[in-house]
């Protein structure tokens, strides 16, 4: 079996058996094709690659300036493919199993304060040329902050999931995994207001012969719903209008804010893990570090004894001068 065939069968198995998300499969495919191209350039066979081959490939990735996170992801993809090859009987070993990865840069996720979120929500309420635009923008932001949804989950939300003033939303997450998330009162109010205006607009479109949309945030584009790029542009506009640094604001920082604020107000990690749709609680634990960093900064800035050593030092210096 040629390398391309191995990669193709491996990706199909990931999709069918594990329900891997499309973006994950695309990333795996790119990483494995890059490894295959490197082997071909070295006149090496993909199916016969050795531990030394994998290590030399990672060294070349490092020399090319790829980040630790990218190199770790590529090693993970290679390791999983050869494990699959071993399980299928294509190889008698896994050449990548004993290779220690470069690890990932430990960076805390960017988040927003509660005041900054409030300003973004207020800006969304007044942003737009029409009442319909304002209602849609308000609904987008309230739902995002109330649920911690990924932006793809939000913009592609089916309108059928939002009918009947729901207290919980059913969300289709990564890999087709479903989860339930509760809606806050402000989010439910914003949703009801948007649905009234959205449905009125849909009635007019259907009267003119246009097909009905199945999405809460419909669009005339190819996808049929508001695109990630358009929402990214909108949220930057809300940041400017609300006096929040646009560099700090993305749909994902609202997701981080959702988790961090819940933790700060007493929610437990397991609950936050469920709400975010994380497969592993270790992914959620990063928010404890965000909270610790914020609390440390708070103490250093506002505690009356935070500058005590410096003040004491000045006192001793003044005594010596007397």
Residues known to be catalytic: 150, 174, 252, 255, 278, 287
For tokens 């592993």, name the residue: 280
Distance, CA of 177 to CA of 184 (rounded, Å): 23
Task: Determine phi and psi for 42, rounding to 5 degrees.
Answer: -90, 5
**Which tokens is 309 given?**
């050593």
Distance from CA of residue 285 to its chain's centroid? 15
Q: Which residues contact 166 (CB under 8 A, 6 or more apart)?
A: 183, 188
What DSSP string runs through 72-84? HHHHHHHHHHHHH
Distances (CA, A) of 7 to 28, 163, 295: 9, 42, 46
* Helices marked H in the chain: 3-17, 22-41, 51-63, 68-87, 114-126, 131-147, 151-155, 185-207, 228-242, 251-264, 269-276, 281-284, 286-302, 308-321
Question: In whole angstroms, what is the distance from residue 246 CA to residue 242 CA?
Answer: 10
- Contact between residue 255 and residue 146 where contact means Cβ atoms under 8 Å apart: no
Render the burial of 102-115: b for 16+ CB within 10 Å, e for the rest: beeeeeeeebbeee
């Amino acid at each position: 079996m040629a390398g391309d065939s191995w990669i193709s069968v491996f990706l199909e198995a990931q999709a069918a058996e594990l329900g891997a998300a499309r973006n994950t499969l695309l990333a795996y495919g790119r990483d494995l094709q890059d490894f295959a191209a490197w082997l071909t350039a070295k006149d090496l066979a993909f199916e016969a690659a050795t531990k030394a081959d994998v290590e030399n490939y990672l060294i070349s990735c490092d020399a090319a300036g790829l980040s630790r996170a990218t190199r770790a992801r590529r090693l993970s993809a290679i390791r999983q493919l050869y494990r699959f090859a071993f399980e299928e009987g294509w190889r008698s070993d896994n050449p990548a199993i004993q290779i220690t990865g470069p690890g990932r840069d430990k960076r805390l996720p960017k988040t927003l304060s509660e005041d900054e979120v409030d300003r973004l929500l207020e800006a969304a309420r007044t942003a737009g040329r029409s009442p319909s635009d304002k209602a849609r923008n308000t609904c987008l932001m309230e739902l995002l902050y109330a649920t911690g949804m990924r932006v793809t989950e939000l913009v592609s939300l089916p309108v059928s999931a939002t009918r009947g003033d729901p207290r919980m939303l059913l969300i289709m997450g990564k890999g087709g995994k479903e989860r339930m998330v509760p809606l806050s009162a402000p989010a439910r109010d914003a949703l009801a207001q948007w649905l009234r205006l959205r449905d009125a607009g849909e009635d007019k479109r259907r009267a003119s012969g246009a097909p009905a949309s199945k999405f809460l945030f419909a669009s005339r584009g190819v996808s049929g719903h508001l695109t990630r790029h358009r929402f990214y542009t909108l949220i930057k506009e809300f940041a400017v209008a609300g006096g929040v640094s646009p560099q700090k604001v993305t749909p994902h920082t609202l997701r981080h804010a959702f988790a961090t604020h819940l933790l700060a107000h007493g929610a437990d990690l397991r609950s936050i893990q469920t709400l975010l749709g994380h497969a592993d609680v270790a992914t959620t634990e990063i928010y404890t570090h965000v909270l610790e960093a914020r609390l440390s900064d708070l103490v250093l800035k506002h505690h009356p004894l935070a500058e005590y050593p410096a003040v004491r030092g000045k006192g001793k210096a003044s005594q010596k001068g007397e």
